């Protein structure tokens, strides 16, 4: 049968295919491949189209050029500059005049004073930097006939493959960044013995030197000196060419299968005879069939203020040791004549195996089973679909939103990026480009912007079941305390610590140079919120003990800095709302009192600290008394004249303000203060804000809106934003709007900013499962698991009335899509791993909840606000699974 009527259900990977229909050859396998690889049929034309690989700290952007391959290298610790002394001493002495101007509503004067006093002393310098480049120039003639080009990143294994034929010879390259072995491995092979000749260069445009070590290795050493400023990071990178007598695993690499079979043997023995020579920063390889290039890197960086951010490692010794482990081994193999021979084998396959096993431990935890509906499609159309490149599928997605498996691929790519850029032992967390950045002074310094961007990176870390990847963020946050104390002292004469609008590798916590962005002093509290939220998922008391002093000390900062506003409540004054300004008649400015984001952060931190004190049995009565009293008096969410959640203390919001930051909705997301099911006032207030702001924005801004609409239980609107996020862009210069993704699926601000990838992943998960609401019972919290709270097109699951607006979107019912599917392995607060299946018209079918530790239990909200208790006497034990049906 040629046509595909009502076949949708047959296409679920888990469902047996109906034998009556003749599917294209290898249909299931090819569909799985299409849904788990990023792929192209041409090399990357721009940096953002290259595919990223990474082992957490060490990574590369792989371009896949035919005659010249480029791996642009990065290590998360390579930053220019060093510790700074940016603080304006005793700036707090000017607080009375600033507050006076604010209380008089002399906004302009207040701005001038804040710009003069509450800013840094001069010139924010440090930037994340490239570690250099590995380039391989191949001896492939200019006029060679190139065919069958393929470049793909396999998310199932974290291996990138480039292959093509040049004049009939198949060249294959395989790349991965291994966490267990701390190397990047690049295996190059040709289908014709001896056809591989190339020049391999390792260098960096600035502050580095490469020397040869023997004829098969290069050593690059250098620092991050830049523009006459000493850089506080030294690095060493070693490259080695390894030629084993590799017997290729021909089943695993069928493309390399030589004809006739005797070539296998030639292949096995050939490369050892390839010629190598090295000079300066280049190794020349002549006449090889296959070999591996291994790279190892290490730096002097240590995330420790007191140690001046330096370790005492012998960098060259460390990379030498790692590279030493790549030395080939002896092994016995059978010759074609079946006699056993001892040969020298490259360890590439061992490294590959360790790498994939290690990676899959994380990646395989979550599975989205979303459909690629093919109802009414002919064989030809299906065949075409299976062959689409990522860019083609991206462009097609615009008119085919029912290809929800593509949205799932985008989400899984987010999980891939997290594993590749934020492993538990990373010395630093994922920055605004993860670990990937080309240049010496990157956009916005590619640091940890702390008024949304850095924190957004970690929104999906627990929900998407990669909790270990949170560790480097926690370590960075805690490392900021010594510097954060100076910021608290100089600007507010306050005890405790805080961090202002950004941070970086060198403990920066000071404000920036001017309004509306620089003087925002509540990021320290936001860091505490993100650290406590990690506890909410994992329930690890030892961890809570570790972060509690930081939470308490951040409360001390706020207890001192908060002042009573005209509303009689406690709030920050001066208070900015990240990067935004307001108009007030002919006046206007960027600071007022009582900015909602700062108030929401304080509410969150006070509440969580009071709770943590109960869990840990803190007996510091004086502190707790003060905290409880202040907690009662913090400014609550205010609803303004348009029904909106107010951004500032005074009701000065402009309904036409489409600023990309939506700071006044912190309480809804990432905070956990608004339950859209029960708190109509605030949920409506948030909707008004979102409709005023509109759906446009930079990548991360749109990602935030996906999360916000999901928390408002509006799956249609959330998915509309996911669709817009999945818009193809190719321009890399800075634009303050637009969003989209590159052909690599890296998210575009533009330029590339990884928060859009992580934020969108978080948003998609929030559509399927939420767990931010809870009831506190003494030292325990009973969390509510909201199952399928914002599934698009699922009318039955929309308890909240929609408000009409210019952004109203039609409910489109399309076959497939979210109509039925499943997700496995999401995490919920309270310590649960949740699998959910839905079917029919989006109806909930079944969920299982597995406890990751002993818990008192949980509540479940399935649809239309119906809440059920799962609170057995004695609670649940770790490992117990509870099945939930409609």
Is the dihedral angle over the CA atoms 645, 647, 652, 658 positive or is it negative?
Answer: negative
Which residue from 162, 159, 160, 140 is spatially nearest to 150, judged by alpha carbons? Answer: 162
Taking the C-alpha atoms of residue 422 and residue 461, their distance in angstroms, rounded to an integer, is 10
* Pairing of the two strands 858-861 and 780-787: parallel
- CB of 444 or CB of 521, closer to ligand FUC: 444
φ/ψ of residue 874, rounded to 5: 90, -5
- CB of 715 or CB of 750, closer to ligand FUC: 750
CA dist 486 → 499, 509, 615, 640 (Å): 10, 9, 30, 36
- CB of 759 or CB of 856, closer to ligand FUC: 759
Is the dihedral angle over the CA atoms 690, 692, 696, 700 positive or is it negative?
Answer: negative
To the nearest whole angstrom, how small is the minimum distance from the Cβ of residue 524 to ligand FUC?
Answer: 18
- Residue ranges of the alpha helices (H) in 744-884? 755-768
Question: 574: cis peptide before it, omega within 30°?
Answer: yes
Taking the C-alpha atoms of residue 41 and residue 448, their distance in angstroms, rounded to an integer, is 35
- CB of 125 or CB of 838, closer to ligand FUC: 125
Question: 211: cis peptide before it, omega within 30°?
Answer: no
Contact 201, 281 (CB under 8 A): yes
- CB of 366 or CB of 452, closer to ligand FUC: 452
**Bridge partners of residue 238, in order along the sequence:** 219, 296
- CB of 315 or CB of 417, closer to ligand FUC: 417
- CB of 516 or CB of 792, closer to ligand FUC: 516
Taking the C-alpha atoms of residue 91 and residue 14, their distance in angstroms, rounded to an integer, is 63
Contact 209, 220 (CB under 8 A): yes
To the nearest whole angstrom, how small is the minimum distance from the Cβ of residue 127 to ligand FUC?
Answer: 12
- CB of 17 or CB of 735, closer to ligand FUC: 735
- CB of 128 or CB of 491, closer to ligand FUC: 128
Contact 794, 870 (CB under 8 A): no
To the nearest whole angstrom, how small is the minimum distance from the Cβ of residue 509 to ligand FUC?
Answer: 16
The neighbour count for residue 417, using CB atoms within 10 Å, is: 25
729, burial (CB in 10 Å: exposed 0-12, middle 13-18, buried 19+): buried
- CB of 480 or CB of 785, closer to ligand FUC: 480
Taking the C-alpha atoms of residue 573 and residue 590, their distance in angstroms, rounded to an integer, is 12
Axis crossing angle, helix 404-421 with helix 390-397, rounded to the nearest 10: 130
- CB of 176 or CB of 444, closer to ligand FUC: 444
To the nearest whole angstrom, how small is the minimum distance from the Cβ of residue 37 to ligand FUC?
Answer: 29
To the nearest whole angstrom, how small is the minimum distance from the Cβ of residue 519 to ligand FUC?
Answer: 13
Which residue from 671, 870, 683 is spatially nearest to 785, judged by alpha carbons? Answer: 870
- CB of 512 or CB of 640, closer to ligand FUC: 512
Taking the C-alpha atoms of residue 185 and residue 470, their distance in angstroms, rounded to an integer, is 26
Contact 385, 372 (CB under 8 A): yes
- CB of 748 or CB of 797, closer to ligand FUC: 748
Q: Residues interacting with ligand FUC, by CB under 6 A?
A: 432, 444, 449, 453, 517, 579, 660, 698, 700, 749, 753
- CB of 483 or CB of 753, closer to ligand FUC: 753
| Strand ranges (E), 494-586 | 502-503, 563-564, 570-571, 582-584
Q: Which residues of 778-802 are buried (b: 16+ CB within 10 A; e: fewer)?
A: eebbbbbbbbbbbbbbbeebbebee
CB under 8 Å to 715, separation ≥6 — which residues?
709, 767, 789, 790, 791, 792, 793, 794, 797, 798, 818
To the nearest whole angstrom, how small is the minimum distance from the Cβ of residue 698 to ligand FUC?
Answer: 5
To the nearest whole angstrom, how small is the minimum distance from the Cβ of residue 755 to ligand FUC?
Answer: 7
To the nearest whole angstrom, how small is the minimum distance from the Cβ of residue 226 to ligand FUC?
Answer: 20
To the nearest whole angstrom, how small is the minimum distance from the Cβ of residue 661 to ligand FUC?
Answer: 6
Which residue from 207, 226, 236, 188 is spatially nearest to 58, judged by alpha carbons? Answer: 236
- CB of 34 or CB of 703, closer to ligand FUC: 703
- CB of 596 or CB of 684, closer to ligand FUC: 596
Q: Which two tokens stand for residue 852?
A: 């990751």
Axis crossing angle, helix 699-711 with helix 680-693, rounded to the nearest 10: 150
To the nearest whole angstrom, how small is the minimum distance from the Cβ of residue 140 to ligand FUC?
Answer: 40
Taking the C-alpha atoms of residue 620 and residue 809, their distance in angstroms, rounded to an integer, is 53
To the nearest whole angstrom, how small is the minimum distance from the Cβ of residue 734 to ligand FUC?
Answer: 8
CA atoms within 13 A on the CB side of 743: 21
């Amino acid at each position: 049968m040629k046509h595909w009527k009502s076949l949708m259900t047959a296409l679920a990977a888990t469902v047996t295919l109906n034998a009556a229909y003749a599917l294209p050859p290898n249909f299931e396998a090819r569909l799985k491949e299409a849904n788990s690889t990023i792929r192209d049929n041409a090399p990357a034309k721009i940096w953002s189209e290259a595919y990223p690989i990474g082992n957490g700290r060490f990574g590369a952007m792989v371009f896949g050029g035919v005659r010249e391959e480029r791996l642009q290298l990065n290590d998360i610790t390579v930053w220019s500059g060093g510790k700074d002394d940016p603080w304006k001493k005793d700036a707090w002495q000017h607080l009375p005049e600033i507050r006076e101007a604010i209380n008089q509503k002399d906004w302009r004067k207040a701005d001038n004073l804040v710009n003069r006093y509450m800013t840094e002393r001069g010139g924010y310098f440090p930037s994340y930097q490239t570690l250099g480049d590995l380039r391989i120039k191949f001896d492939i003639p200019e006029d060679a006939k190139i065919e069958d080009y393929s470049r793909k990143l396999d998310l199932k294994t974290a291996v990138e493959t480039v292959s093509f034929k040049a004049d009939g010879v198949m060249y294959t390259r395989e790349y991965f960044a291994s966490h267990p072995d701390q190397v990047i491995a690049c295996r190059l092979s040709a289908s014709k013995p001896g056809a591989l000749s190339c020049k391999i260069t390792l260098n960096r445009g600035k502050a580095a030197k490469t020397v040869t070590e023997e004829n098969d290795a290069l050593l690059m050493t250098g620092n991050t000196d830049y523009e006459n400023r000493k850089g506080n990071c030294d690095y060493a990178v070693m490259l080695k060419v390894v030629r084993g007598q590799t017997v290729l695993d021909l089943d695993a690499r069928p493309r390399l299968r030589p004809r006739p079979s005797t070539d296998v043997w030639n292949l096995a023995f050939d490369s050892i005879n390839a010629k190598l020579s090295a000079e300066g920063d280049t190794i020349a390889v002549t006449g090889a069939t296959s070999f591996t290039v291994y790279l190892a890197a290490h730096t002097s960086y240590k995330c420790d203020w007191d140690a001046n951010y330096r370790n005492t490692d012998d960098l060259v010794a460390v990379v030498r040791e790692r590279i030493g482990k790549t030395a080939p081994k002896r092994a016995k193999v059978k010759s074609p004549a079946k006699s056993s021979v001892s040969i020298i084998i490259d360890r590439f396959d061992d490294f590959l195996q360790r790498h994939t096993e290690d990676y899959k431990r994380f990646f395989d935890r979550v599975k989205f089973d979303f459909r690629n509906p093919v109802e009414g499609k002919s064989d030809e159309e299906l065949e075409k679909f299976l062959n689409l490149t990522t860019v083609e599928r991206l462009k097609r997605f615009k008119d085919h939103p029912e290809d929800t498996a593509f949205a799932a691929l985008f989400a899984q790519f987010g999980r891939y990026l997290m594993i590749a850029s934020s492993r538990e032992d990373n010395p630093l967390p994922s920055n605004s480009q993860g670990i990937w950045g080309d240049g010496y002074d990157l956009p916005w310094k590619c640091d940890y912007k702390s008024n949304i961007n850095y924190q957004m990176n970690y929104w999906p870390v627990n929900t998407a079941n990669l909790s270990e990847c949170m560790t480097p963020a926690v370590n960075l946050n805690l490392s900021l305390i010594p510097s954060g104390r100076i910021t608290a002292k100089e600007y507010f004469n306050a005890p405790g610590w805080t961090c202002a609008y950004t941070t970086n590798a060198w403990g920066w916590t000071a404000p920036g140079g001017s309004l509306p962005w620089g003087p925002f002093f509540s990021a320290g509290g936001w860091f505490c919120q993100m650290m406590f939220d990690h506890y909410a998922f994992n329930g690890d008391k030892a961890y809570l003990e570790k972060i509690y002093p930081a939470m308490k000390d951040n409360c001390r900062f706020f207890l001192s800095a908060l002042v009573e506003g005209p509303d009689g409540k406690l709030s920050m004054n001066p208070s900015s709302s990240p990067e935004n300004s307001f108009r007030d008649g002919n006046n206007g400015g960027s600071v007022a009192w009582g900015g909602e984001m700062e108030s929401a952060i304080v509410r969150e931190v006070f509440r969580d600290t009071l709770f943590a004190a109960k869990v840990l049995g803190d007996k510091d009565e004086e502190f707790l008394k003060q905290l409880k009293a202040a907690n009662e008096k913090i400014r609550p969410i205010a609803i303004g004249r348009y029904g909106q959640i107010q951004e500032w203390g005074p009701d000065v919001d402009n309904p036409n303000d489409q600023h990309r930051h939506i700071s006044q909705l912190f309480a809804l997301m990432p905070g956990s203060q608004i339950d859209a099911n029960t708190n109509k006032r605030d949920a409506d207030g948030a909707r008004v804000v979102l409709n005023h702001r509109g759906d446009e924005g930079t990548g991360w801004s749109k990602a935030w809106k996906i999360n916000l609409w999901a928390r408002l239980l509006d799956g249609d609107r959330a998915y509309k934003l996911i669709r817009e996020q999945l818009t193809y862009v190719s321009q890399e210069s800075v634009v303050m709007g637009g969003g989209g993704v590159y052909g690599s699926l890296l998210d575009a601000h533009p330029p590339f900013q990884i928060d859009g990838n992580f934020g969108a992943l978080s948003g998609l998960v929030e559509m399927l499962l939420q767990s931010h609401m809870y009831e506190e019972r003494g030292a325990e919290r009973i969390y509510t698991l909201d199952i399928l709270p914002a599934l698009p097109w699922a009318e039955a699951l929309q308890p909240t009335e929609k408000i009409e607006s210019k952004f109203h979107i039609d409910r489109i019912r399309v076959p497939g899509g979210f109509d039925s599917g499943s997700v496995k392995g999401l995490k919920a607060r309270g310590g649960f791993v949740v699998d959910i299946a839905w079917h029919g018209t989006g109806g909930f079918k079944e969920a299982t909840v597995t406890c990751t530790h002993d818990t008192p239990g949980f509540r479940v909200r399935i649809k239309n606000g119906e809440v059920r208790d799962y609170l057995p006497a004695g609670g649940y034990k770790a490992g117990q699974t509870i099945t939930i049906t409609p």
